[in-house]
Amino acid sequence: MEYTHLGRSGLSVSRLCLGTMNFGPEATEEVSRTIMDRALEHGINFFDTANVYGWRKGEGWTERIVGNWFAQGGERREKVVIATKLYGSMSDWPNDTFLSARNIISACEASLRRLQTDHIDLYQMHHVDRDTPWDEIWQAMETLVRQGKVIYVGSSNHAGWNIAQAQETARNRNFQGLVSEQSLYNLLERRVEMEVLPAAREYGLGVIPWSPLMRGALGGILRKQKEGRSASETTQNVLNDHREQIERYESLCDELGHHPADVGIAWLLAQPGVTAPIIGPRTVEQLDSSVGAVEVSLDEATLGRLDTIFPPVGPAPEAYAW
């Protein structure tokens, strides 16, 4: 496994991030524990979760699974850079959602209990809160950092101007601010290249792409259909909208001799500023098959051919103004 720094921080993380969203709803706790153990065997030290994962409001089901795994010992917690998130609703009461200072503090305490740890390595805001000022957000995060409950802070699903606003406010408070941004980014969905990626690079944020295979559409969906395997309705809709591109993509992958999933992740790893795409296995076999992407090297000619199939949006303002 290869490692890199998370943005401008000194924190070393694996080039693949283990996503845990399937732990609970799609993978039993026993299977989830096996996947996490296997991830460590592969050298993956970067795990991502969220307080809402598990999709049973207020239970933090996935965080509990990760916490029970940590509690087994064997230096599991010491080896892992654990990232979790807050923002989503954890109850029907009005203050258990979004990014008020009150919710930041209480949500952190609850995640710490579920994760059975005394600190969160990377605490991420799952979405931008348009109604809470950045000074209030940073005051709460600064408190958690001083207390040693949070080490680094990251964002997710933030626009480029949100990142700039956050970082300039943090600068005025003499606070480190964000070290990472987690965004939807893959060959089919490249809109973050307009402003989010340039802002992240300017401010030294590591980019953590989620859904690197566009819900499986870039993971060999045509091959799977030939084998009689079905896709979810969402994935099928993506295929219907982009069939010609995906056909060309899978033909190129056949020519390269690599699985489409490996090529899709390798392409992300080749993009400037990308730290670690998130892989979200439901089984150990899926995890094992994902690790090979780190060893795939795409030359400039291949990257150019991929750009032909999936045209880049281009950074702002050049994407829409001369």
Q: Report if residue 243 sits inside a domain.
A: no
Q: Tokens standing for 141? A: 């995060």
Q: Report if residue 144 sits inside a domain.
A: yes
User: Tell me, what's the pLDDT at 224?
Assistant: 84
User: Tell me, what's the pLDDT at 257?
Assistant: 95
Could you tell me the CATH number of the domain that includes residue 134? Answer: 3.20.20.100
User: Tell me, what's the pLDDT at 317?
Assistant: 86
User: Tell me, what's the pLDDT at 307?
Assistant: 97
Q: Report if residue 100 sits inside a domain.
A: yes
Q: Report if residue 308 sits inside a domain.
A: no
User: Tell me, what's the pLDDT at 232?
Assistant: 82
Residue 219 clears pLDDT 80, i.e. is over it: yes
Lowest pLDDT segment from 56-60, 161-165, 202-206: 56-60
Domain of residue 188 covers 3-215+262-297
Place of tokens 């982009």: 242
Assign 296 a pLDDT band (cuts: 50, 70, 90): very high
Residues with Cβ within 8 Å of 152's Cβ and at least 6 positions away in sequence, in order, are 6, 9, 11, 121, 122, 123, 176, 179, 180
Residues with Cβ within 8 Å of 49's Cβ and at least 6 positions away in sequence, in order, are 19, 20, 21, 23, 62, 63, 66, 82, 83, 84, 85, 115
Residue 250 clears pLDDT 90, i.e. is over it: yes
Assign 68 a pLDDT band (cuts: 50, 70, 90): very high
User: Tell me, what's the pLDDT at 321?
Assistant: 82
| Mean of per-residue pLDDT scores for the chain | 95
Residue 74 clears pLDDT 80, i.e. is over it: yes
Nearest to 90 by CA among 74, 77, 104, 78: 104
Q: Report if residue 257 sits inside a domain.
A: no
25-51, pLDDT tens digit by residue? 999 999 999 999 999 999 999 999 999
Residue 302 clears pLDDT 90, i.e. is over it: yes
Number of compact structural domains in the chain: 1
Nearest to 275 by CA among 59, 135, 124, 86: 124
Average pLDDT of span 71-100: 97
Angle at 174 between CA 159 and CA 209, to 5 degrees: 30
Average pLDDT of span 283-304: 94
- The answer to whether residues 223 and 198 touch, using CB atoms and an 8 Å cutoff, is no
251-274, pLDDT tens digit by residue? 999 999 999 999 999 999 999 999
Q: What amino acid positions are annotated as catalytic residues? A: 53
Q: Report if residue 268 sits inside a domain.
A: yes
- The answer to whether residues 66 and 20 touch, using CB atoms and an 8 Å cutoff, is yes
Q: Report if residue 105 sits inside a domain.
A: yes
Assign 102 a pLDDT band (cuts: 50, 70, 90): very high
Q: Report if residue 291 sits inside a domain.
A: yes
How large a percentage of the chain has pLDDT more than 90? 89
| DSSP string over 3-62 | EEESTTSS-EEESSEEE-TTBTTTB-HHHHHHHHHHHHHTT--EEE--TTTTSSTTT-HH
Task: Indicate the helix (H) or strand (E) that contains 217.
Answer: none
Average pLDDT of span 107-117: 98
CA separation for the pair 214, 194 (Å, rounded): 18
User: Tell me, what's the pLDDT at 320?
Assistant: 84
155-199, pLDDT tens digit by residue? 999 999 999 999 999 999 999 999 999 999 999 999 999 999 999
Q: Tokens standing for 122? A: 């990377």
